[in-house]
């Protein structure tokens, strides 16, 4: 019990890095799912959350990659369904 009482409460990461996964979470779970994922990562992190955004081209190529892997294609990866897609190439 003495060791447990010395641990920070709640246990949090100092840095969380999220690389190359946000697009897949986004296309499968939509805007709400991506938002929930990022909020959860922020709750588990004490200081910094580093997120690698995926360019629009990656979204367009998602079905090509799935086809090559023999997986079912995504129904809709357009910006009309996935509104949280600013054009990061211009920023």
Residues above pLDDT 90, as percent of the chain: 24
* Whole-number average pLDDT of the chain: 78
Q: What is the mean pLDDT of residues 57-86?
A: 76
Encoding tokens for residue 79?
A: 């910006």
- Whole-angstrom distance between the N-terminal and C-terminal Cα of the chain? 50
Strands (E), 12-75: 13-18, 45-51
pLDDT, position 37: 93
Among residues 64, 72, 58, the alpha carbon closest in space to that of 20 is found at 58
pLDDT, position 42: 92
Q: What is the pLDDT of residues 9-52, one digit of tens each?
A: 567 889 999 998 888 888 888 889 999 999 999 999 988 999 98
In the predicted model, is pLDDT for residue 7 greater than 90?
no
């Amino acid at each position: 019990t003495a060791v447990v009482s010395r641990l920070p409460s709640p246990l949090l990461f100092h840095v969380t890095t999220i690389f190359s996964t946000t697009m897949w979470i986004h296309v499968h779970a939509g805007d709400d799912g991506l938002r929930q994922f990022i909020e959860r990562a922020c709750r588990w992190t004490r200081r910094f959350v580093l997120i690698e955004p995926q360019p629009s081209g990656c979204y367009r190529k998602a079905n090509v990659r799935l086809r090559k892997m023999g997986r079912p294609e995504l129904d809709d990866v357009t910006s009309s369904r996935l509104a949280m897609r600013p054009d990061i190439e211009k920023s």
